Structure 1
Amino acid sequence: MRRAYMGGVMAAGKPVVVEGLVCAEPAGMAWEDGERDRWWARAAALEHGREQDDWAAAVAGADHLSDLTPEQQSWLLVRGPESSARALLGKSLVLLRHRQQADVDRVAAARFELDAWPLVLRDAGTNADRLGFLVLPFRGPEVAALVAGWLRHLGSARLWARLWLERHARSAASALVPAAVGRPGRARQQAEDALRHLVAKGHEATVVEVAERYGTGVLAALTALSEEGAARPARKAKAWTLPEIRLATGDAMPQEDTGRLVEALTWSRLEAAPEPAPGDPAPDTGDVPVGVESAEAPQPFVHHAEPEAEKLIADCDRGSLAAFGRALLDAWLADGMQAADAWVVLAQAHVGDDTTMDVLAPLVRSWPPRSRYARAIDGLAVLATVGTDVSLRHLLAIEENMSGGPTNDRATAYLTQAAARRGLSVTQLADRLAVTCGLDGGVTFDYGPRAFTVVADEHLTAFAVDESGKRLARPPKPGAKDTNPEAYQQFLQYKKDLRATAAAHTARLQRDMLARRLRPARDVREVLLPHPILGPLARRLLWGEYDTAGRLARALRVAEDGSFADIDDATATTDGMLGIVHPADLGGDLKRWARIVADYELLPAFPQLGRPMVTLTGEQRAATSLAGFRPVPSDRVVALLDRAGWQGNGLSQRLHTQLAHALPGGLALVVEISPGVTTYSMNNPDEQRITEIWADDAWSNHLRLVRRIPLGACDPAALSELLVALHQAP
């Protein structure tokens, strides 16, 4: 063969179909040297707390693994009766809720091999990015079909698929050839992609041999796998009523050319998925395999326009073309947002302008609550691809105001990539695009015969200034001689807009402090301080120079001349990374800095040094756990579980006796409560006792009986915020 396999074409533009082929290869295991032992060794990490006398009876009476608590599940799979474990693993419903699901499944696979496949299939299929590595030692048609569908993913699922295909090339070919020459559809498309990957990785001879084994016609049918030879079916745009497009010459674009442009725009699409996100199924530490979720992986921008579209677009008046694009968008929305015509959204990257971005951004915000997630992601891709100041301001606002979840993660990823195109971090981009409300260029309200300029004080309160230079709380109401009386109401609205903008910037700076987002020192000097709104806010905050580990090296204030001053009021020079100081970082210097801030009358726009805070003593930092404190209302605990980041240890409506929240550095804060709460019950007791507070690895299921991690290893600012939330949750 043999170049025909990669260079062939489809007969008459249609794929050759060979029906009736079935892969008869049985499922099996193919462990690499030492792999099974490494997986079984993870049993040591699956601690299950104190065993109870009734566990054996509970296991014997269970119909499904989901009928057991996480503690019982861990015990059963690691050291419970083998016959009971095998019986439960074979049930059709296998539903676990373990933070250590990777360890649970690795141990189950090592102990029970093929009998653990239902468990592995369920978990790897549900979260392929994080758990897809679990299929690596399994082989067979079911595994091949699963991983073939992962090749178009954005996260680590693509990496696991590639590793599996190259590890089981012959088994993969045997399982996928029947689907690759079967009826057109998703299964065929995914099988074709997987076989192309095998050929590209040097397994063409294996694929050819397997194809010949299926019959003479199969090999010929596989020539349809060439993407270069595949005929692209024609698309037909809807017969929407659209405005004409003006050319740069001022003439109208001929109707025939408009039709060609629309047809070319129907091929607007995202770029091919980027290379698989970094992942590692077997880290040197032996701990949890590294996987990157699709929503957090590099995201594809919008693919460049078709050559036909580029040629026609080049001759258009850009404003007229953008208006035409918005008309396309309006027509698609009025037509019910049909998925077949969703190319209209991506086409805005080719024809849209800043006005288009102003129209698109509110739509992107509105689509996730209406379950239009795919369209929202397309809209995010357009905003990031266009990459103007206007589009990126919208992307920043979307990312800041969305609730948590995969769509928001994609917004963050797109924003990060768009900022990187400018050589900036997201924080640096946000600083540079921060709205100024016109204060950088001067604001004037013109009544006609008289005008008032606007100034803002250090607290960002707007004042009108008359021609004599006198500052007024507001300009006088319009008189009979004023020809533009609307200016008065415009000033009042301006004051409201300035307050809202200042509040938004203040909230972002507070989030920067809590998330410890850092900026180069030169950005504070050259970007923040000269900004008419960020500057007054930044001058009233205490800044800190942080080392590469994220620990405070020294705190600094902004002096009157824009330089930095240290705790001794000496001028400090720095070119390091600066962040907004959290008071928990200051340790014994807190009181001294508080006096300095008071002496200079620096009133921060949000609570900084005076915010509620918990600081551990030296003895507490060395300890591996803290005793609880006074009882807290049960509804306060339930409120914490409703907040993003806090998790309980119960399943569904079962009792939560533990709360956990992630900390920086791969740790988690664990809070033990008694007697426990259920989030869906109105019958909780009035109060909960907090019996213990301790730190654990974030990936752990927090069932350890021995505390190993000193509290001093926790980030002091993040720990303080969580402990305060525990005291003050509504």
Structure 2
Amino acid sequence: MSVDPEDRFDLPRKFQHGVIRRERCDRSVLEAVSTAGSPDPQDIATWRSIDRLVAQDGPAAAVRFFAELSAEDVSFSRQSWSRGSVYDSTLRDRRWPLMLRLLDLVRSGTDEEYGEAIATAEKLRDEFPVPASRAAMAVLALDRPEWCSADIADYAEDGEGSEDGEGSEDGDDEHHVARLLMLAVTTREQARELGRKIRHWEWVNDDRRAEATFLATIGAGADEFLVGCLEGSRWHALNLLPKLPSELAVNTLIGELGPKDAQAALLEAAKRFPRRVLRLVAEAEPATQVDYVLRLHVAADPALAREELGRLSEAARRRVEALLGPSGVAGSGGGGGGGTDGAGGGSVPVAEEGDLPRVLVVPPWADREAGKPIALKNLPTPVPFFRWPARETAGPTAIPEPAPSPDEAGNQNKIVLTMAEWLNSEYEPYSEAADVFFRRYPGQAVRQLLVCALGTAGPERRVAEAAVRFVARQGWADVVALAGESSPEAAVATRALLERRGLDTFPKSMPAVPLWADPASLPGIVLAGRRAVLPASAVRVVVQMLTISSRREVAPYGGIEIVKEACDARSLAEFAWGLFENWAGAGFPTKKLGWAFDTLLWFGDGETARRLAPLVRAWPGEGGSARAAGGLDVLIAAGGEAGLREVYDISQRSTFAALRAEASRRVAKAASARGLSADQLEDQLVLDLGAGRDGTLEVDFGARRFTVGFDEYLAPFVTDGAGKRRASLPKPTAKDDAVLAAAAQRRFTELKKDAKTFAVRQAARLEQAMVGGRRWSEGEFQAVFVQHPLLRLLGRRLVWGEFDGEGALRAAFRIAEDGTFADVADERFVLNSREAGSCGTIGVVHPLHLGADLPRWAEICHDYEIIQPFPQIGRPFFTLTPAERTATRLDRFCDADLATDRFLALHRSPGWGGAALWDSGSTVATGRRLPHHRILIVRITPGYREGRLADTPRQTITDIWLSPTDSHGRRGARTEALPLGGIEPLTASEIIADLAAAVGT
């Protein structure tokens, strides 16, 4: 008799090997298994003991022995064992394997032995009325189902054995009883009753045999048991419930749709039991996640949905019909099924096969014999081509047995292949090193790679092909011409390799397309020119291409570029976003970031970045830190300048330190790629907090509007329609729009916090610019500090200087409120850099530069009531004495005593900490990195350990010297110290000021 697929239960493969055979068998079969042994040495010892007892006294004696053993209080606490306690390793602690072996011996006995064993078990159930003993007897006598029913009726589990669920003795013994009852169950009625009794089940991770046997015996009747597992073992329950042909299982998954792991389980159930899930989801109470699952399910199989309409209630039928649309085709977005263009446009026809790229009609994995790559043999091995710089080979030559020379041809081939593999490395330093390598040696590396790229098929060929295509794509070398140096055949084969675009690089078995990625549930993809929409079959090919593409690869699967060339960019972006939303709605089911997320990299645009930015900001708080970090890459790749600005904004304002660090790292990387310093790029990206060019922004209460401006301290204030200035927004009145007013209040509150953070960050940047001697061109200075709506407010509170090409100060000036410049005499000042041939640059003046003009600048700041954002004009400054300039030791601070926390503050302050030294685990020095790889070392005693400052509350400075290199020894031994006069005066002043503050002088 055939079984309706909707009612069939297939035990998962991973459980099949754990099913315990309970039917009668021949003793010879058992002896063969016993001879094979067991992977567990303790099991072997257990088997031998019970086998010996059965051989001497028969199965009935062994049954009595086990009943007596089970009647004793011999429970084993997992909690105490995890804490390292020693327990009595006797047979009493091996009850479970002993029970399984006894079951084997009893079921394989003769009819007489079996009858005697069961009769003994019946007597022992009355003689030892202990739950574990009675349950064990029920397992042995499967032809006495009434025993199991009686034991289940008597069974009452009080939680998981203890209030804290950590495995008390009673709880552990009840867990053992429960496992025995699961083995004894033979009917669905018993299973349901046991499921009602066993709640908060903790899945046995190290031995699934009881659960596997239970599932194999009961099938769909295990639903109530699994529902009870949701709290104690949610992962296992959600893994198995979708496999049960049970309405309870489906309804339970619908009820669990809050957490996203249940969404993935329900979608799996929909693939296995589509009619049942469609009916129950359609009848469920409407909710966002329920509607999402229903939309996906209807879109995946509209024909099935129409067939089921007659079995639905009136309300459920209307919900499904709304998704089907008048034509009976799910209308969630086009899905390549024709009709909508998926990008907000009108209706467009479905593309004919002749209008599509061939790869979308007959994908390479559908015709694996066609277009096999050319393989050439006996290509000449190139001669060694590169010589390593001396600093890169100095290390191995100092080793007694140096590594093989990298200049040998064979080793160079290995190096090139290694670099080709590193191009795809997830470890960023490897991929960056490979990128530098191929940028440095493009042509020479290609010559080496072509030997593998045109050779025999295999992993090395695939890696070499990808690297050759990478070099060609970057335009670093004429790959075909280089191949022609070997032979005309090599040039032809290389040209074919490039034209194939890696289309023949795909796995032996293509990944299955999940339900949430079904083309019918996705927005349509439109051909370029918006002339036709891709058919569903072509969209499925695109999805399959995406499943084998990854951000970890040098480039996505080659067909992705063909799709981008053939299709409308906006519709691709909408398609990618729809796929991403489905993936997110299914609970982010794929490993790591997932190919659905990577699709945003390949197809995303500025709108994608705008939608994604708020999600990236929120994900770390939802346990999605890895997703948030990956989202930063999408913002930069898809959003261009606007996306990079979002990443910079995240680096400054995110409340999650790890995300801020990831964003800062990407901003620095983007700056390097543009040939800029991180500071220069930050100047271009600096936030305006929504202010216009006049430094203000509008907020709307509906009936009233207010203007928000910023004072000289960057604190926001409000001006009403009458020009009256307020410190904050007024309270809404009855005439105001409540929604708009509430949104404006929230925005103003966030603005105050953001403005404070902005002011602190930018003041710190400007102070470091002064200390580090950073300079701006006049154009940069005008754009950043004169015209920027917020930074100009900081710029007006500082004294600036124009410096000549030698770094000497030409003149100092300030920025007036009207944007003009004034000198020390408060006269109008014109930058000399405007003069023809001038190479002057502009920077924040250090008081050391001002000389005799310093008092006058102090008067100007006083007269104009200028409060500087950090100490500048009033900043203490110092100079080295003539003796100190020639000395190699800064004696003025040596032997000074200071608190450890003051030294730690120095070590962590800007510019310091670049040369921390350790001795026996204690920090004994700090350092300040200087130009030309020099480091100023400050040595202390006795040193301190992080987290144990109280052990050494005071430190003494023992030495201060200038090291000529950063290779100064891990223990801080004094090297060839340089004269301190080699330190630039401004830097020397800051060093002395920092040390004076640390020692309190």
Change (3 A) 1:224 1:109: same
- Alpha-carbon distance, 1:602 to partner: 0.9
Task: Work out the number of aligned pairs and report it.
Answer: 587
Q: 1:383 aligns with which of 636, 652, 658?
A: 636
DSSP 3-state at the match of 1:436? coil
Corresponding residue number in structure 1 for 2:897: 631
Superposition pairs of residues 517-532 of structure 1, within 5 angstroms: 517-525=774-782, 528-532=785-789
**Are the counterparts in 2 of residues 655 and 678 from structure 1 also a CA contact under 8 Å?**
yes
Partner amino acid for 1:396?
Y
Range with bigger deviation, 438-447 or 663-672: 438-447
Alpha carbons of 1:344 and 1:615: their partners in 2 closer, same or farther (altered >3 Å)?
farther
Give the Å deviation of 1:511: 1.1
> Normalising by structure 1, what TM-score?
0.62
- Partners of 1:246 and 1:496 lie apart in 2 by 42
Q: Deviations over 1:179-221 (max 9, x none)?
A: 9857733x5544556799899598869989xx9xxxxxxx99x
Q: Which one is further off, 609-618 or 300-309? A: 300-309
Please tell me whether residue 662 in structure 1 is matched to residue 662 in structure 2.
no
2:458 paired with 1:184:
yes
Structure 1 residue 538: Cα displacement: 1.9
* 1:226 matched to 2:497: yes
> Which one scores higher on RCO, CA 8 angstroms, separation ≥ 6?
1
CA distances 1:622-676 after superposition (whole Å, capped 9, x unpaired): 5444123422233444566677862456469534433223234543222122333
SS in 2 for 1:335: coil
Letter paired with 1:228: E
Query: Deviations 1:329-387 (Å, cap 9, x if unpaired)?
Result: 63586224545515224135348445324245427978999567xx8367336425522
Deviations 1:525-547 (A, max 9, x none): 45543444333222112222244
Aligned partner letter, 2:497 = S
Give secondary structure in 2 for the equivalent of 1:657: strand
Change beyond 3 A, Cα 1:328–1:547? farther
Alpha-carbon distance between aligned partners in 2 of 1:156 and 1:258, rounded to the nearest angstrom: 37
Distance 2:996 2:556 in 1: 41
User: Quick check: which has more Rg, 1 or 2?
Assistant: 2
Tell me the residue number matched to 2:397: 110
- 1:694 equivalenced with 2:961 (yes/no): yes
Instruction: Note if 1:394 corresponds to 2:646.
Output: yes
For residues 97-154 of structure 1, the C-alpha deviation after alignment (integer angstroms, 9 at most, x for no partner) is xxxxx5xx855533557x1329xxxxxxxxxxxxxxx945796476565455456766
1:716 to 986, 989, 993: 986
Structure 1 residue 487, shift from structure 2 partner: 6.0
Give SS of 1:413's match.
helix
Q: Which residue of 1 aligns with 2:793?
A: 536
Residue in structure 2 matched with residue 602 of structure 1 by the alignment: 866
8 Å contact 2:913–2:927 — kept in the other structure? yes
Mark the runs of 5 or more structure 2 residues left unpaired by the alignment. 1-367, 379-383, 425-429, 472-476, 834-839
Distance 1:312 1:30 in 2: 43
Three-state SS of the structure 1 residue aligned to 2:568 is helix
> Aligned with 1:387: secondary structure?
helix
* CA shift for structure 1 position 570: 3.1
Amino acid at match of 1:634: T
Contact 1:663 1:714 in 2 (8 A): no
Is the CA contact (8 Å cut-off) linking 2:716 and 2:751 kept in structure 1? yes
CA contact (8 A) 2:801 2:843 kept: yes
Structure 2 residue 585 is matched with structure 1 residue 343: no
By how many angstroms is 1:458 displaced? 3.6
1:368/1:157 CA distance change after superposition, 3 Å: farther
Matches within 5 A, 1:404-423: 408-415=664-671, 417=673
SS at match of 2:403: helix
Residue 990 of structure 2 aligns to a residue in which SS?
helix
1:504 alignment partner AA: T
Once the two structures are TM-superposed, the CA of residue 512 in structure 1 deviates from its matched residue by 3.7
Q: Any idea what the Cα deviations from partners look like across 1:288-331, whole Å, max 9, x if unmatched?
A: xxxxxxxxxxxx9999963434543357497x557526525635
1:502 and 2:755 equivalent? yes
**Residues 583-622 of structure 1 aligned to structure 2 (within 5 Å):** 583=847, 585-586=849-850, 589-610=853-874, 615-617=879-881, 620-621=884-885
Query: Which is further off, 426-435 or 402-411?
Result: 402-411
Structure 1: stretches of 5+ with no match in the other structure: 1-9, 22-28, 40-101, 119-133, 212-218, 274-299
Deviation for aligned residue 1:557: 0.9
Aligned-pair CA distance for 1:685: 3.2
Q: In the TM superposition, what is the alpha-carbon distance from 1:565 to its structure 2 partner?
A: 1.9
Query: Do structure 1's residue 513 and structure 2's residue 783 form an aligned pair?
Result: no
Which of 578, 581, 596 is 1:327 aligned to? 581
Q: Is residue 558–residue 565 contact of structure 1 (8 Å, CA) maintained in 2?
A: yes
Q: How high is the TM-score relative to the length of structure 2?
A: 0.48
Instruction: Identify the residue that residue 72 of structure 1 maps to in structure 2.
Output: none
Deviation of 1:475 after TM superposition, in Å, equals: 5.5
Cα separation, 1, equivalents of 2:533 and 2:914: 61
Whether the 8 Å CA contact 1:136–1:163 is kept in 2: the answer is no
Aligned residue type for 2:617: P
Match of 1:297 in 2: none
In structure 2, distance between residues paired with 1:31 and 1:313: 45
Instruction: Give 3-state SS (helix, strand or coil) of 2:584's partner.
Output: helix
Amino acid at match of 1:659: T
1:443 equivalenced with 2:698 (yes/no): yes
8 A contact 2:885–2:979 mirrored in 1: no
Distance 2:564 2:720 in 1: 54
Deviation of residue 682 (structure 1)? Answer: 6.3
Distance 1:166 1:388 in 2: 33
Match of 1:569, SS state, is coil
Q: Distance in 2 between matches of 1:635 and 1:396?
A: 33
SS at match of 2:955: strand
Q: SS of the residue aligned with 1:646?
A: coil
* 8 A Cα contact 1:621 1:710, kept in partner: yes
Q: Aligned equivalents of 2:546 and 2:983: distance in 1?
A: 55
SS in 2 for 1:362: helix
Q: 2:830 matched to which residue of 1? A: 573
For the structure 1 residues 18 and 548, does the alpha-carbon distance in structure 2 shift closer, same or farther, using more than 3 Å as the test? same
Q: 1:239 aligns with which of 507, 515, 518?
A: 515
CA contact (8 A) 2:480 2:494 kept: no
d(CA) in 2 for partners of 1:225 and 1:204?
12
Q: In structure 2, what is the equivalent of residue 312 of structure 1? A: 567
Q: Distance in 2 between matches of 1:231 and 1:414?
A: 30
Q: What's the counterpart of residue 613 of structure 2?
A: 358
Provide the rounded CA distance (Å) in 2 between the counterparts of 1:688 and 1:696: 22
Distance in 2 of aligned mates of 1:524 and 1:303: 45
Q: How far apart, CA to CA, are the structure 2 residues paired with 1:260 and 1:30?
A: 43
For the 8 Å contact 2:914–2:928, the answer to whether it is kept is yes
Letter in 1 for 2:403: W
Q: What CA distance in whole angstroms lies between the structure 2 residues aligned with 1:246 and 1:179?
A: 34
Query: d(CA) in 2 for partners of 1:168 and 1:310?
Result: 29
Deviates more, 1:258-267 or 1:623-632: 258-267
Displacement of 1:621: 4.8
Aligned partners of 1:250 and 1:413: how far apart in 2? 40
For the 8 Å contact 2:922–2:945, the answer to whether it is kept is yes
C-alpha spacing 1:728/1:347, structure 2 compared with 1 (3 Å): farther
- The residue type equivalent to 2:632 in the other structure is G
Distance 2:743 2:929 in 1: 47
Query: Per the alignment, do residues 199 and 252 of structure 1 end up closer, same or farther by CA in structure 2, a change over 3 Å counting?
Result: closer
Which residue in 2 is equivalent to 1:484?
737
Q: Distance in 2 between matches of 1:151 and 1:387?
A: 23
